[in-house]
Homo-oligomer: A and B are copies of this chain.
């Protein structure tokens, strides 16, 4: 089965925006057992839309087009595709009604212009948009019915805004795809998320124990990003669910210590969940991460129940004033040292009254490194009722990657401590 994703929008080709649809839609489909064959971005001009869509339809079973269904003058996808398929547009009464209701609920007048979104190609089916005004559309391309010499295919058009597209895709489009293109066999997919282990070591650990299951149809994939390795376990066939869940068990028994979650989970979500379940709290003492660990924790809804404070002590003076780090320790060991990391964590836990305190101090670079302490040097500390541990790492990356990896190490240290405390 060939699936093609066509993203329309001149702003994509001018590089004004990042194409997040590519990753998101491809991921959704892959995890459901469908692989996108090709993704294409084209300008929102008539010729580009017609040419790009026609080419995609000519080589695919399913084409998903995003963008250009809104009410403004450059939203011409609907019109151009009707032109390409040589079919008329008709106003859909139900959609007019839904647009009216959309504005009524928001107590705003309905701009006349928005009504154009109810003009849909005849024979198109409507994919209702519960989060915006432009409906999605589905057209079965039938060569006997449509012009242009296009072979049979299924064409789905979706509005561009992610907060509209994403729920439509999950709630409506995926079930349609499953229904029209049933997988040849049962399909199962699980992704395990790990941190603190390199890709090659993870491979070394897992490949041998999983070999038997591979013979039964398991496919193991590794995807490494800085500071994280995803393990993707996929199988299709009559016993795919069983095979994948056996594989998950094996992976957890071999590398479970480093696996913090599954699917799209983030480590900060896991940490907030674990703390919430235990009615425990955390406070932070951040130097080189500059507030980034606090930012990640507070991205999780419900963080306020477990997160008390972060002391972002960038200057030495702030380390003394806010955390009680001693002037002598700073003078003797320097701000980036095991001793200072420990005093930061201890001061943070004591002053905040939190169950756990994470402290980080390091050299993000690109300047500030020395022979002894090169750029990337960082000390990560964790204080709990069991005492305080500090470890040193060399995270030799650019500034933002350094912060990401350091935050990851701090959060992972906390996660393991919570797990081990039980």
Is A15 an interface residue when CB atoms closer than 8 A count as contact?
yes
Contact with B along A291-309 (1 / 0, CB 8 A): 1111101110111100111
The answer to whether A349 has its CB under 8 Å from any CB of chain B is no
Pair B26/A12 contact, Cβ less than 8 Å: yes
- Listed A/B pairs (9) with beta-carbon separation below 8 Å: A13-B37, A13-B38, A15-B23, A15-B26, A15-B30, A299-B399, A299-B403, A304-B315, A308-B315
**Closest CB in chain B relative to A109 CB, distance in Å:** 16
Chain multiplicity (copies):
2
Q: Is the interface of A mostly helix, strand, loop or mixed?
A: mixed
Q: Write the nearest CB–CB distance from A366 to chain B, whole angstroms.
A: 6
Chain A 69-84 residues near chain B, CB threshold 8 A = none
In chain A between 288 and 341, which residues have their CB closer than 8 angstroms to a CB of chain B? 288-295, 297-299, 301-304, 307-315, 317-318, 321-322
Question: Would you list which residues of chain A between 357 and 372 have a CB under 8 Å from chain B?
Answer: 364-368
The distance in angstroms between the C-alpha atoms of A268 and B284, with both chains bound, is 23
Q: If the complex has contacts A15-B26, A16-B230, A310-B310, are A290 and B295 also in contact, measured as CB distance less than 8 A?
A: yes
Q: Could you say which residues of chain B place their CB within 8 Å of the CB of A421? A: none
Complex interface: chain B residues within 8 A of A302 (CB): 367
- A297: chain B residues at CB < 8 Å are 290
Per CB-CB distance, the 6 closest pairs between chain A and chain B, nearest first, are: A15-B27, A290-B298, A291-B294, A291-B291, A15-B26, A310-B312
Q: How far apart sit A225 and B11, CA to CA, in the bound complex (Å)? A: 11
Interface with B: A40-48, A145-153, A210-218, A250-258, which one?
A40-48
Known: A14-B26, A15-B24. A309 touches B299 (CB 8 A): no
A286 at the A/B interface (Cβ < 8 Å)? yes
